[in-house]
Every structure is written in C-alpha cells, then in structure tokens.
Structure 1
Amino acid sequence: MKRHPVIWGILLLFLLLFAFYFLVQGIASITGKRTAFSGANKIGIVDIEGIIKDSGEVVDHLNEFAKDDTVKGVILRINSPGGGVAPSQEIYDAVMELRKRKRVLASMSSVAASGGYLVACAGEKIIANSGTLTGSISAVMYFTNTEELMKKVGVKASVIKSGKYKDIGSPIREMTEEEKVLLQGLVDDIYSQFLDVVVRHRNITSETLKDIADGRIFTGRQAQKLGLVDYLGDKQYAVTMLAKLVGIEGEPVVVYPRKKYESMLDYVLQQTSSSLSAVLSTKQRFSYGIHYLMDDYDVRMMAPGNEVR
C-alpha cells in the first residue's frame, strides 16, 4: 500500500507538536514556570521564606498574580521569623493592594512570627498548623559594645561628628541614658504601628492585645485560642478553603510565580548563584536597624538541626 505524503506529513506534524508540548511542560516543571496550557481555575502560591531583608521579589510576585486573570486567589505561604520593619510593611501593603482584586489567605508553615505575623495579618483569614510558632508581636534593635574588648587589645578610637546624636549606637562606647530614651521612643513607635495592624485585622481589643504582645511566641493552637489565628490546617487545607471561596469546582490548579530566568542556562546559573549566596549570607543573618524579629535565640532554634521537636 502506497504511503500518502500528506497523511504522513500531518502525522509527523502532530508528533512534533506533542513532543514540543511535553518538552515545554518538562522545562516548566524543572524551572517552576507556568505554561499557557494550564486552565483558568488557578490558585497562586507566594512563598515568604526566611528572614525578611528585602520586599522586592515578594512584591513582584504579588503584582504578577494581581495582573493574571486566570489566578482566582492567592495563598501567602509564610515560613519566616520576621525581619526588617520596612520590608515587612511593604509586603503587607502589597498584599492589601492585591486584596482589592483577589481573595487572599495566609498559611503558616513552621514559623510565622513578628514581621511574618504582620504579613499574615493582611490575609482575609489566617491558617496555621497546630505546632506553628507564631506571635512575637514586638519590635527590637540590636547594638554591640566592644569598648572593653578594644581596651584589652590596646585599640583606641576617635570620633568627629556634626551632632550630639550622630554616633548613637556606636560600638566603641557605652550608650548614654539620654540616647537609650531616644531609641526607646523609636522602638515604641514601631511597636505601636504593629499593634495598630493587629487590632485592625483581628477581632481583638488593644487592651487585650497588649497583655500578650510582649514578644512571647505561641503555638498555632494557642494562637487560635487567643484570636491571632482563624483555623488550624496545612497548606492544602488553605488551598481547598480558598478554592471554595472563589467558586472553583473540583481540584484547583496550584501555580507559583514565574522565575526570572528564561533558559536552562539561566536556570543553572541562577541555582549556582543562589547556593553561593546562601553560603555567604550565613555570616550576616540580618541587617542593622529596627526589626520585627523573633528573639535571636528563637531564630537560632529554627536553624537546620535545631528544630523544636
């Protein structure tokens, strides 16, 4: 039987299309990219992982989902002990903007405390695991005094400044009582801003909140009893709840933000850079300034090998 060239050409074309489809899907699964072949009933996941030092990437991800009409709702998956005040507030503000267009829920992982809890408050509802560490509603500044050490090794320092407070917090001398009062005022104001957010979003009075907002941490179960958390459950519980809220029938498609790299070579370079950055970043765990951050002991307890068991 003679082979018809047109039929064989059509079959070959279909084979090439199938091969291209699976190639695109395979690359997407490796790089974390979404493809145009997905349906319209999507739930977006934005991960907030580790100490919050910068808001840029998370805000970009939130804006990406805000513009994507196929994404019906967004889950904030938080695994963070907090971090810098400004980036925590910027993420919070970006979530509030997203809520004007999408339904948003917060899902807590191992820890969502201090700045991590501030971000969670922007969600319509907060879901935590029963063993999640959360709370730590507080603000803190860190300073180091090396004056005595410098004396022991024979090092002297001189300072020329334009104002009496220009070297406030200097590591080469003891802080004066006047300076401590000034900095305490800064911390108190930042703390007050945190309390305002919690009172605004949680069904809890400022008087009741101040009794528990002293830096202490809670389990997810304790936090639920105190009104800081709405439901107990894992990420899938949050996804299922959000799917019902936005009217998705059946199993929703869970998607993550697109990666910035656009090729396999970019992916390899990005992963290598990330690994190197992770090694280097262990030398400085957080920047100077005021922080919405769990106590340093608690942060160290969450490091690999030191998990609470």
Structure 2
Amino acid sequence: MNTFKLLASSLRGCRGHDIPLLRQISTTSPVTSLEKTVLHDYHVDQGGKMVEFAGYSMPVQYGKVGIATSHNQVRNHCGMFDVSHMLQSRVHGRDRVKFVESLIVGDIEGLPDNSGTLSLFTNDQGGIIDDLICSKTDLGYLYVVSNAGCKEKDLAHMKQQLASFKAAGGDVELEIIEDHGLVAVQGPEAAKILQPLVEGDINQLYFMQTRELVVAGIPCRVTRCGYTGEDGVEISVPNEKIILKQLKDKPKRRRVGLTCTGPPPRSHCPVLDGDGNQVGEVTSGCPAPSLGKNVAMAYVPANLAKAGTNLTVQVRKKNIPAVVTKMPFVKCNYHIMK
C-alpha cells in the first residue's frame, strides 16, 4: 500500500483541509482551468469541495464537515493536508550555502546537519518577497520549501539570482522537485498515528529536523514542522507512490463489518470463504449487547465485501458462521438539526 492511503486509513476518516491558506482562496477562475496536484482525483472521489488556490484546484472542505470542525480536529487530534502545490527544490554545489544565504535572512552555515529554519526571501532593498523553510541535509544539498501562492515569483527570483551568482564564478545548481508530492500530517496525535508506518523512532525526529525515512515501505523525506502550530510532519513522497494506481484499479481488499453469534471474534481471527479457504482476518471484534449478537471488522477480498455475503470466522479453532453487514452496526441517535 502507499503512504497517503495508509495515513488516511490511520486517521480513521479524518480529512485534511488547507486551513492556514483559506483566507487566500478565491473562486474567480473556473476549476477546470486550474493545475491539479497528484492527489486531485482522490480529493474529488472523497467528496472534496474543490476551489481555486494559487492556480490549483484544492479542497476547501469535505462533505458536510465544516472548516471549524476540521480546525478543532487538527488542534485536538490529527488531520492531513495535501500541500503538493508548494514549491520544493534542492540546491546543490560547493557554494550552495553561500548562494542561499545571499537570498534569505538566516544562518544556514550555522545549522546542524539535517535541521532547518523558517526564513524569508528578500529583495535588494531588504523587502520581503516570501517566507520559506530551508533545511541543511547531510546528503550534499539544501532542501527548500516555499509557498504555492508565490511559486512563480519565488522561482523567477531564484533563477535570476542563480544566473548572476554562477556568472561570478559560483558553484551552485538549482533542482526543482517536480516528481514528489508533499503531505502534511498535523496535530497532537500525529506522531502516534505515523509511527506504525515508519522504520525507526519518529520521536527521535525533533521540531525543524529532517531525515530521509522509509514510510509505508517508501523512501521519503520527513521534516518535523508545519504551519498549523501543532506537532506534526511534512512528508515529501514520490508521485508514483501515492494512489493513482489504486484509484484506477480499485482496492483488492475492503474493510467490512461482520455479525455472528457464539464466541465473539477477536483481532487476528481467520476469516474463511465458503470453501474453507482463509481470505482475510478480523481486525477487531466484541459482543454488541444492543444487537444481541457479536460484531467485528475484517479485511476481505473486494468480491466478498457485499452486504449479506456469508463467511466463516475461526474462533479458538471453532468455525462460526458470519454475515457481511453494513456499518455502523447500531444507528446513531444524535439530536441533530433537520
């Protein structure tokens, strides 16, 4: 599975909105003429309300989930943001630090390896062009991320200064990262949610530190930072590893609800098809007093995921008949506005 989809699954349905950028969104241009991030089709498929931001079609909210609810979700728990529209770049060469320090206000030379700083692009008069984060890696390059709203302006400024710097004998090259998306996972529960997907201890990565880490089996650059003011990370991941193939081919397995009687299924109990072949396993299960039976969730092949499909769950070496059942198992009784 891929990084974004696993994170989305870990968030149990929480969907990210580019909250810090909402104040800058307009809808003056038709969405069809806008650029799209690598996750655009995913947003649309999940019911995202797509609007214009910085020349991109971006989700401002999902379904009936309001912006305030999403804001509180990130503040109190965790949320995920598609920030692939931002400008990612690498600066190479012997004089890379000197070049970047000529563009920004910040001591890049004094940074420890694999750490970064929030800084500002400035013009020759000291005026502010844009803010950015510059990280000093131990791999022979600087990693720079700047805002989508100023992408064209930032890029033009960097290229213009690059030409002058090289003409004066400077050894530096600018690489625009166009084959990576950028995903931000933000909130007080971000590390807990991310840890099962990361090789190594995510808590050894501190604020404004950056590492190349394996996330969900995929080499990514992970930086512990973000614009929400909460704990979290930004993950730079290759475009071909996000979710386009899954969107096209559809998932081979689906999460389903199961109901049964007898001993309650527990985590890791095998799920069998009508021929007795194991086709999945239970992720969690328990008695449901309101229903007078047991309930469970499991992952099974997509062709067995239809409600009403008869399966078998093996509980303590006993085969228990089970039925695929729509969730939620018990109707919610919230007092809501009609």
Higher percent of residues as strand: 2
Higher percent of residues as helix: 1
Same fold (TM over 0.5): no
TM-score by length of 1: 0.22
Q: Which has the higher contact order (CA 8 A, sep 6+)?
A: 1
